[in-house]
Amino acid sequence: MAQLRISVIVGSVRDGRISLPIATWVMDRIAARAEFDAELLDLAEWDLPMFAEPNPPATGRYTGEKQRAWAEKIGTADGYILVAPEYNHGMSGALKNALDTVYAEWGRKPVAFVAHGGMGGARSVEQLRQVAVALAMAPLSSAVHLQGAAKLREGDRFNAGEIEDRRLSALFDELLWWGRALNAARGGN
Ligand SMILES: Cc1cc2nc3c(=O)[nH]c(=O)nc-3n(C[C@H](O)[C@H](O)[C@H](O)COP(=O)(O)O)c2cc1C
């Protein structure tokens, strides 16, 4: 069976963000799973402009250069893992902007969340699930919620413990199930 192509999206763009070490941990663990072919998408590197396109993305009429490049990139994935911080009881603006920038490319694909914050990023994930449904995505019911993530950080590294690793592995299992099911339903492999 073909590998499932997963984009791991870093949902924070600020200096010193913990989302990047967490995303690096996710990438490290997913690389050990032969069923996946994962790619890191760092929104700080993508530097997507604040959405200001003339056409709603649902029309499919993309005009901006970055919008087109983002559409192509998002379109190649079979599913997504969003590494999501919680800002003021919600998702980060960078993540919402990245989601808003294109439309059809997200649709009928699973999205999983690895969130962090005082409440494990729970409120951010609840909002993200609503947005994912608006984009015709299939948000997973389980998520990895990291509470006190800063304590596990050592510079660029996120030193996950056994519990975090186990939860992430369970998330991969669920993502694999949905990813394969939806690929088949879309007529893929
Ligand atoms: C603008 C802003 C708002 C925040 N609001 C919340 C919040 O509502 N709940 C929470 O648990 N943490 C909140 N935090 C703390 C973040 O969860 C914490 O700073 C985390 O490291 C942010 O992720 P990042 O480092 O990847 O940007 C906030 C941080 C910022 C910068």
Arithmetic mean of pLDDT over the chain: 97
Cα angle 66, 80, 36 (rounded to 5 degrees) comes to 115
What is the position in ligand 1's atom list of the atom closest to the CA of 83? 26
Which residue has its alpha carbon closest to ligand 1 atom 30?
A: 87
What is the position in ligand 1's atom list of the atom closest to the CA of 89? 8
Half-sphere exposure at residue 140, Cβ-oriented, CA atoms within 13 angstroms? 25
What pLDDT score does 1 carry?
81
Cα angle 21, 25, 29 (rounded to 5 degrees) comes to 170
Say if 188 falls within a structural domain.
no
Which residue has its alpha carbon closest to ligand 1 atom 27?
A: 17
Contact 36, 4 (CB under 8 A): yes
What pLDDT score does 159 carry?
97
- Quote the ligand 1 centre to 83 CA distance (angstroms): 13
Say how many domains are in the chain: 1
Q: What's the pLDDT tens digit per position in 63-106? A: 999 999 999 999 999 999 999 999 999 999 999 999 999 999 99
What pLDDT score does 140 carry?
98
Say if 187 falls within a structural domain.
no
d(CA 119, CA 97): 23
**Measured between alpha carbons, how far apart are the two ends of the chain, in Å?**
7
For position 55, which CATH number holds?
3.40.50.360
Is the CB of residue 124 below 6 angstroms from any atom belonging to ligand 1? no
Say if 84 falls within a structural domain.
yes
Q: What's the pLDDT tens digit per position in 91-147? A: 999 999 999 999 999 999 999 999 999 999 999 999 999 999 999 999 999 999 999
Say if 32 falls within a structural domain.
yes
pLDDT bucket at 189, cuts 50 / 70 / 90: low
| 166: CB partners within 8 A, 6+ apart | none
Is the CB of residue 88 below 6 angstroms from any atom belonging to ligand 1? yes
Token pair 């890191």 in the structure block, residue: 40
Domain that holds residue 142: 4-182
Is the CB of residue 109 below 6 angstroms from any atom belonging to ligand 1? no
Say if 66 falls within a structural domain.
yes
Give the three-state DSSP class for 36.
strand
Is the CB of residue 85 below 6 angstroms from any atom belonging to ligand 1? yes
In 3D, which of 11, 106, 108 has the Cα closest to residue 60?
A: 106
Say if 189 falls within a structural domain.
no
What is the position in ligand 1's atom list of the atom closest to the CA of 90? 8
What pLDDT score does 188 carry?
75
Q: What's the pLDDT tens digit per position in 148-172? A: 999 999 999 999 999 999 999 999 9
- Please give the average per-residue pLDDT across 40-45, as a whole number: 98
Contact 21, 156 (CB under 8 A): yes
